[in-house]
Amino acid sequence: MSIAEPILLTPGPLTTSARTRQAMMIDWGSWDDRFNQLTASLCEQLLAIINGAATHHCVPLQGSGTFAVEAAIGTLVPRDGKVLVLINGAYGKRLAKICEVLGRSFSTFETAEDEPTTAADVDRLLRADAGITHVALIHCETSTGILNPLPEIAHVISQHGKRLIIDAMSSFGALPVDAQQVPFDALIAASGKCLEGVPGMGFVFARKESLTAAAGNSHSLAMDLYDQHAYMAKTGQWRFTPPTHVVAALHEALLQYNEEGGLPARHARYAANCQALMEEMGKLGLRSFLPAAIQAPIIATFHAPKDPRYAFKEFYERVKAKGYILYPGKLTQVETFRVGCIGHVQPSEMREAVAAIAEVLREMEVLEI
């Protein structure tokens, strides 16, 4: 890639393939039968990734992933429900903020940003508060890259007869979740993450019975997943103007996803990217924020160099000039920066990116090697 087209080492938007970008060169009529077929095919393929066709509906929604998270909370949590929000990073806090803004009763349980929530924590919290109806969990917390133990937590929630809402924004398509093994009311993801589409469309896998029971819950016309699904089931069309180019790009990205070998192959490539990144950064003396046991192969957080000559803004601009875009840290207590392992990139490109990082740190006189 040229410097005019840098590689995005971020958790989304991310680097896409030429085929995916090419798919956006066609204009679609939003009521056209071919476009409706594209949407239907998209939802069918997405459901297959979680083995969810028998139990869940795929409801696509215009907007970013956060739009879909808000839509899921607003549609599936009754107005007299109560959500337990599990937090170990910025996106858990955002989920709590959504509950607050929507006027849904909620409580929070927060652990350190390098400490996963445990099933034992959730069991204790549910025993202590019978008023909780739903639990909301971030599967892979993008602010650090930490992986929370979803299957174990889901099992405990199910034992208590409560309902689970999963923000799987950074994990869907790369980390396995089987809807027949992991009980959940909703799993939420978006087009511009591990499926390697472009941003602009979220989607919610909603349990069929729960969605049917959700009529009238939503705070919003545009974000009413019940109404969105009912209209699509009846007409094959989106209720309001769809992001046609985003849908076409995601459909093309899914073709490539399946050609690559589906989830196992996508996970293997991202894991190899992450391993290459960790090995090369380790050689520079740059330490990962998380221990390997809880590090998902999605995005990695690194401690910033403890050198007065280091400043993230200058570091970022210099690395960008060499063809790579990084992400700032999102931690409050420690200075960090983040490097994404996802997107249309290979381990060799991760090594080249670290070589560029090393060159920049030498130029800034932060590294002497």
Query: Could you tell me the pLDDT band of residue 332, with boundaries at 50, 70 and 90?
Result: low
Average pLDDT of span 136-142 = 96
Q: How far, in Å, CA of 287 to CA of 293, rounded?
A: 15
The pLDDT-based confidence of 108 (bands split at 50, 70, 90) is: very high
Residue 5 pLDDT level (bands cut at 50, 70, 90): confident
- In whole angstroms, give the CA distance from residue 40 to residue 21: 21
- How far is Cα 93 from Cα 292, in angstroms, rounded to an integer? 24
**Kind of pairing between the strands at 327-328 and 336-340:** antiparallel
Residue 122 tokens read as 């959730």
pLDDT of 296 higher than 80: yes
Q: What is the pLDDT of residue 226?
A: 98
What percent of the chain is predicted at pLDDT more than 90? 93
Instruction: Check pLDDT > 70 for residue 76.
Output: yes
The predicted pLDDT at position 4 comes to 55
Residue 368, pLDDT score: 65
> What's the pLDDT band for 2 if we cut at 50, 70, 90?
very low
pLDDT digits (tens, 9 = 90+) for 307-325: 999 999 999 999 999 999 9
Mean pLDDT of 240-250: 98
The 3-state secondary structure of 101-160 reads: HHCCEEEEEECCCCCCCCHHHHHHHHHHCCCCCEEEEECEECCCCEECCHHHHHHHHHHC
> What pLDDT, in 10s, does the model give residues 350-361?
999 999 999 999
Instruction: Write down all domains in the chain, each with its CATH number in brackets.
Output: 7-13+262-363 (3.90.1150.10), 18-258 (3.40.640.10)
Residue 134 has pLDDT above 60, yes or no: yes
**pLDDT tops 80 at residue 154:** yes
- Report d(CA 341, CA 301) in Å as an integer: 11
Model pLDDT, residue 11: 86
Q: What pTM does this model have?
A: 0.95
**Per-residue CA distances from 117 to 138, 214, 270 (Å):** 10, 28, 24
